[in-house]
A and B are shown apart, each in its own frame.
Chain A
Amino acid sequence: MAAFSAFVVGVIFAIGLGLGGMTQPGKVVGFLDVFGKWDPSLIFVMIGALVVSGILYKIIRSRRTPVFADKFQVPSRKDIDRKLVLGSVLFGSGWGLAGYCPAPAITSLASMQLSPGIFVASMLAGMVIFQLTNRKKA
């Protein structure tokens, strides 16, 4: 059941990304390029997402357990360490360069265009490279 609900969530998530414009890298870079021709659309995507998610989070967490799982597995770390900071610097830089982040890029594979395909392949490589070079610390 968990796999089926994850699939459904993926479909809904993709629809949200598509309608919200996140799958148009020009729109994303248009938002990040604040000093250029600024497109503030992304702010509204974030507002819409945060309002819904923020309100529902508390309500859902008030349950004892999730519906199809034994327990909630929500991150609990509170520290801001070097890895968080440097990792975010690297991620943000890549995001600003190509206008793709993980979810929209994967969703865009459906368009059979070259750019998301190259991006996703490189993204997977980058993930694996980090994992392989950080085995002991993981």
Chain B
Amino acid sequence: MTDYYFSLIGGAIIGTAVSLMLLFNGRVTGVSGIVSGALSKAKGDFSWRLAFVLGLVFGGVGLHLYNPEIFRDDLGRSVPVLVVAGLLVGYGTVMGSGCTSGHGICGISRLSLRSMAATVIFILCGVVAATLFRVLTGVS
């Protein structure tokens, strides 16, 4: 049960973070957009995007020092699977203009139908992919 409390609180902290980004920088925190924008250097300044990514990593360092279990990987996916998954996520988030933070949190908070549709779709596909992987490989 305490597991779920941490999940709720973690979520609330994420909600706070995206709200602060909106308040201070006037921007939505769609991480795929922030990263891809830094890569393309086409829109927006590079420095705030880099700063955000560094913040994520810096926060990660602190978390890891506090408790490495936070990053425990029980899945042990093979390298080819990780590569394919990464390519799909990278390609798909740029094509679809968002990810779990961009569409799932920021978009839905604005009551964007576009983001709601995207979120439903990527969650459903996540379910299909996770289920198929287990069924086809016998690994859970």
| Chain A positions near chain B (C-beta within 8 angstroms) | 1-26, 29, 32-37, 40-54, 56-57, 60-61, 63, 65-75, 77-80, 83-103, 105-111, 113, 115-116, 118-131, 134, 138
A22 to chain B, nearest CB (A): 7
Give the residues in chain B near A116, CB-CB below 8 Å: 71, 73
Interface centre among B39, B53, B92 (most CB of A within 10 A): B92
Inter-chain CB contacts under 8 Å: number: 495
Given contacts A53-B106, A75-B97, A118-B82, contact A93 B88 (CB under 8 A): yes
For the complex of A and B, 9 pairs with smallest distance between CB atoms: A10-B55, A20-B10, A87-B96, A126-B90, A48-B11, A122-B86, A14-B59, A110-B60, A52-B15
| Chain B positions near chain A (C-beta within 8 angstroms) | 3-4, 6-29, 31-32, 35-36, 39-40, 42, 44-45, 47-64, 68, 70-77, 79, 81-97, 99-101, 103-110, 112-114, 117-119, 121-131, 133-134, 140
Q: Is the CB of B7 within 8 A of A42?
A: yes
Give the residues in chain B near A21, CB-CB below 8 Å: 3, 6-7, 10
Bound together, the chains give a CA A84 to CA B49 distance in angstroms of 23
Give the residues in chain A near B97, CB-CB below 8 Å: 75, 77, 83-84, 87
